[in-house]
A and B are shown apart, each in its own frame.
Chain A
Amino acid sequence: MKNRVITKKDFPKFVGRLTNQAEVYAPVQVKDKDYSRFGRIKSAEEICFSHLNTKLPVKELFFPQREVLFEFKPGEHSQAQPPPEIENRIALGVKPCDAAALEMFDRVFLDKEYPDPYYKERRDKTTLIGIACNQPGKACFCTAVNGNPHGTRGLDLLLIDLEDRYLAMPVSEKGEKLVTSYPEAAGKDLENQQELASKATKAIELSLNPKELKNLLDANFDHAVWQELSLPCVNCGVCTYLCPTCHCFDVTDEEYKGEGARIRTWDSCQFSMFTRHASGHNPRPTGKERMRNRTLHKFCYFPKTHEEVLCVGCGRCITECPAGIDLRETLQTLLQTLAPGKES
């Protein structure tokens, strides 16, 4: 697949071609706020690339915060509803971290036994166009969790901002088709890209040994450090809601004036009700158990089952935590405290 060049001057036309063939979603400025969020766009002017990343990861296009699984009329005959079909969509301006997270989602929602039809429909019908990170943020640590600021995992096409132009690197055939009419990239463009990629990678300082972390977490479930680590946490759940890899959900019924629906909503393992039995017994009764579960799910349980950590290093849980908990510090504390030879 050949790398192409789209000049900034041509970019609005490129976006116009996209909007002609599919519903296009891209980061848009949220009114009166200092952040952007994925929204439907009709033209390139609506796109906002001035923030490091969107407040909410692109997961909301595939796994919305609230969605109707099916509708019913209580006690009455009801039309059966297959999972809703959607129009073809293009998500434009996805950061490599958030795109990589979707492949982790696939492991949960597209398993062989019970593929999730709602998620699958959106995944099948969506083309992902990424935008590389030339300047990672202060809380970014993708390189520590097998990611890369110019990574292409989960994407169909990656755009790299080369000041007056975008270098377009196709990843899949779907992505290649979108740019075949554009001129091939020159050697200079690729050199520029590599320089930017290496600069961006170097900007991230944290490095981790996920395998070591997994083994240490596994062997130290009862370690006293968890009490200490969980003390500042207020169990607000923002880290889970904004996390591109958190997939937990609740299913509830809503009814209003004789119309009802079964609803799926995001849920958080940080809430007491998440695991509380009807009897009142709670397997994870306090913040300590819940914080430990979240950390272990990402860095021990998921790696044991799927051979990779369930984290893409986007840093949202760090920048948004009201208690100032920094996952990078948490992990480093764990590594230091749990490593053999340390007191327990």
Chain B
Amino acid sequence: MDNPYLPAPARIEKVTIENEARDLKTFQLSFVDNERLTDIGTSDSGFPIPATRPTTRKDFLFLPGQFGFLSLSGVGEAPFGIASAPHEDRVWYTVKKVGVFTTALHELEQSVVIGMRGPYGNSYPFDLMKGKDVVIVSGGFSFTTLRSTLVHLLKPENRGDFGKITCVYGARSPGELLYKDEIRAWESSSDINLVLCVDRLDGADWPKTEGLVPNVLKKVAPSARNAVALVCGPPIMIRFTHPVLKELGFAPARVFLSLENRMKCGIGKCGRCNIGTRYVCKDGPVFSYQELLTLPPEY
């Protein structure tokens, strides 16, 4: 029988240090197995291979906004948003070194095999976004699943399905912005209006804007007409972004937030990630602001 608790072996193909503080690393993973295993077999990951869980890239089907669990035998596992787009070969996770698991993960180098299971949760509402303008608001290292979203939206085959794309992405300082090469390229692209900002420029010549995300969003003032807003960031940024979006005319049903809560299983059983009746793992992590208004503020 299918065992959802077993991670599949995945190899770290590349590790990128993303920020000056060196506590954010992107891990690019590939599945060790290329063919779906019909029988339970062995792996060099230290983990048993599940028979019918996604153990190959081909079977690991996801949309931006979903997450997976990374697993280190002897340390444990933890959930992270997927930072790569569905069409990219490798599965990316950008992880901040903050606790026991992430510290252990940060010590690992290229070619090490770890465990991965997923994908879990819902995604950003791409069906609803079709034919509409997309406004992305992000602060700090929460940009990961929104990178996935942007790469997905900007894919030439997909780009025509969506209207104007506006993105305000901010960090504390220039050195803390993620995926620098990519965002520099997007800054000069006509496919997207990307406004990068930092709390303090401290004399740096990039990015061009100094200011807090909500304030910058107010200045950029994207139209709410036929638009959907995706918001992900620290609680304080989210709190001050809501009034701005409201002022710009975004209805709560058109604003989507990606949430995090502590979780252990990812499949709606361990009980800890609930916000009222809803589980962040199964019913989220993406919720409309309209729905959140009906739920307790326990996130």
Give, as a whole number of angstroms, the nearest-CB distance from A277 to chain B: 6
Within 8 A of B (CB), among A274-314: 274-279, 281, 283-284, 289, 293, 296-297, 300-301, 304-305
Known pairs A70-B48, A109-B269 / 16 extra A-B pairs, C-beta < 8 Å? A74-B74, A78-B42, A79-B42, A79-B48, A80-B43, A108-B268, A247-B271, A248-B270, A249-B269, A253-B74, A260-B73, A267-B270, A269-B272, A275-B273, A293-B298, A304-B277
Question: How far is A260 from B37 in the complex, measured between Cα atoms in Å?
Answer: 24
Complex: chain B residue closest to A292, CB-CB = B296
Give, as a whole number of angstroms, the nearest-CB distance from A278 to chain B: 4
Stretch at the interface among B28-36, B155-163, B259-267: B259-267
Stretch at the interface among A113-121, A176-184, A202-210: A113-121
Give, as a whole number of angstroms, the nearest-CB distance from B257 to chain A: 14
Q: Is the CB–CB distance between B262 and A69 below 8 Å?
A: no
> Is A83 in contact with chain B by the CB < 8 A criterion?
yes
Give, as a whole number of angstroms, the nearest-CB distance from A324 to chain B: 26
Question: How far is A81 from B47 in the complex, measured between Cα atoms in Å?
Answer: 9
Q: Is the CB–CB distance between A248 and B271 below 8 Å?
A: yes
Complex: chain A residue closest to B275, CB-CB = A283
**Chain A residues close to B by CB (< 8 Å):** 69-70, 72-83, 108-109, 111, 113-117, 120-121, 221, 247-253, 255, 260, 262, 267, 269, 274-279, 281, 283-284, 289, 293, 296-297, 300-301, 304-305
> Is B220 in contact with chain A by the CB < 8 A criterion?
no
Question: How far is A248 from B265 in the complex, measured between Cα atoms in Å?
Answer: 10
Q: Please, could you name 25 A-B residue pairs with CB atoms under 8 Å apart, sorted by A?
A: A73-B46, A77-B43, A77-B44, A78-B45, A78-B48, A80-B40, A81-B40, A83-B3, A114-B4, A116-B4, A117-B1, A117-B2, A248-B271, A249-B271, A251-B77, A251-B264, A253-B76, A262-B5, A267-B264, A275-B261, A275-B262, A275-B298, A281-B235, A289-B298, A301-B277
Q: Is the CB–CB distance between B269 and A283 below 8 Å?
A: no
Question: How far is A277 from B96 in the complex, measured between Cα atoms in Å?
Answer: 13
Q: Is the CB–CB distance between B277 and A305 below 8 Å?
A: yes
Please report whether the interface of chain B is mostly helix, strand, loop or mixed according to DSSP. loop
**Most chain A Cβ neighbours within 10 Å, of B72, B75, B262:** B262
Give, as a whole number of angstroms, the nearest-CB distance from B209 to chain A: 26
Give, as a whole number of angstroms, the nearest-CB distance from B238 to chain A: 12
Complex: chain A residue closest to B112, CB-CB = A75
Q: Is the CB–CB distance between A301 and B73 below 8 Å?
A: no
Partner of A69, one of B2, B5, B296: B5
Give, as a whole number of angstroms, the nearest-CB distance from B49 to chain A: 5
Q: Is the CB–CB distance between B49 and A284 below 8 Å?
A: no
Give, as a whole number of angstroms, the nearest-CB distance from A101 to chain B: 15
**Most chain A Cβ neighbours within 10 Å, of B4, B75, B274:** B274
Q: Is the CB–CB distance between B49 and A80 below 8 Å?
A: yes
Q: Is the CB–CB distance between B268 and A114 below 8 Å?
A: yes
Give, as a whole number of angstroms, the nearest-CB distance from A111 to chain B: 7
> Is B206 in contact with chain A by the CB < 8 A criterion?
no
Query: Assuming the A-B contacts A77-B42, A78-B42, A83-B1, are A274 and B76 also in contact, with contact meaning beta carbons closer than 8 angstroms in the complex?
Result: no
Within 8 A of A (CB), among B249-299: 260-262, 264-265, 267-277, 282, 296, 298-299
Question: How far is A296 from B271 in the complex, measured between Cα atoms in Å?
Answer: 13
Question: How far is A82 from B234 in the complex, measured between Cα atoms in Å?
Answer: 40
Q: Is the CB–CB distance between B1 and A255 below 8 Å?
A: no
> Is B98 in contact with chain A by the CB < 8 A criterion?
yes
> Is B41 in contact with chain A by the CB < 8 A criterion?
yes
Q: Is the CB–CB distance between B272 and A278 below 8 Å?
A: no
Q: Is the CB–CB distance between B75 and A278 below 8 Å?
A: no
Q: Is the CB–CB distance between B44 and A251 below 8 Å?
A: no
Q: Is the CB–CB distance between B46 and A78 below 8 Å?
A: yes
Q: Is the CB–CB distance between B269 and A82 below 8 Å?
A: no
> Is B102 in contact with chain A by the CB < 8 A criterion?
yes
Complex: chain A residue closest to B6, CB-CB = A70
B235 contacts across to A, CB distance below 8 A: 281
> Is B203 in contact with chain A by the CB < 8 A criterion?
no
Partner of A301, one of B51, B78, B272, B276: B276
Partner of B46, one of A72, A82, A113: A72
Question: How far is A172 from B124 in the complex, measured between Cα atoms in Å?
Answer: 45
Question: How far is A221 from B41 in the complex, measured between Cα atoms in Å?
Answer: 50
Give, as a whole number of angstroms, the nearest-CB distance from A294 to chain B: 10
